[in-house]
Amino acid sequence: LLETWVTSLWLGMSRQEGVYFLGPRSHIELLPHLREHYRDTVVDCSLCSRPVVRGQRCSQAVCDGKVHLQCAARYMGRREEPKCPNCEAAWLHEIPALVENGREVRNEPPRPATPPPSSDRARRRAPSSRRSR
């Protein structure tokens, strides 16, 4: 029976731990019911707006910011000083490693963009758009 539910995507199974969890079909089919009957429990990710089951919550009592672990890794892992996407308070949680396709990916801060050429040089180099008549 469990294998049938996994095949039909009602359940998923962790290959490493052998643990079953709700699959994508369960999330899609049950979400309206959960939102209606558990309004205070179903919280959306502040970054991707999908429901969060396991994640991190902002440490500020007045903020309701919550993010998936993977969203935290992707969004905050690249910042030198991670901040809450809702209230901009310092993010005090440990940022998890970014995992894609079952492999850990280095999450490096973005490199500064190379400055554009000065406007004088750019104007001198740009071909004239006017035609002489």
- Is the CB of residue 56 less than 8 Å from the CB of residue 86? no
> For the whole prediction, is pTM greater than 0.85?
no
Closest alpha carbon to 72 in 98, 105, 35: 98
Q: Which residues of the chain have pLDDT under 70?
A: 100-133
Quick one: pLDDT at residue 110? 46
H or E element: which one contains 67? Answer: strand 66-68
> Tokens 């500020």 appear where?
60
Report the C-alpha gap between 85 and 80 in whole angstroms: 14
pLDDT digits (tens, 9 = 90+) for 103-115: 666 655 444 445 5
Can you read off the two tokens belonging to residue 44?
Answer: 């959306």
Cβ-proximal residues to 14 (8 Å cutoff; 6+ apart), any chain: 20, 21
Percent with pLDDT over 90 in the chain: 20
Long-range CB pairs of 98-106 (<8 Å, 24+ gap) are 98/70, 98/73, 98/74, 99/70, 99/73
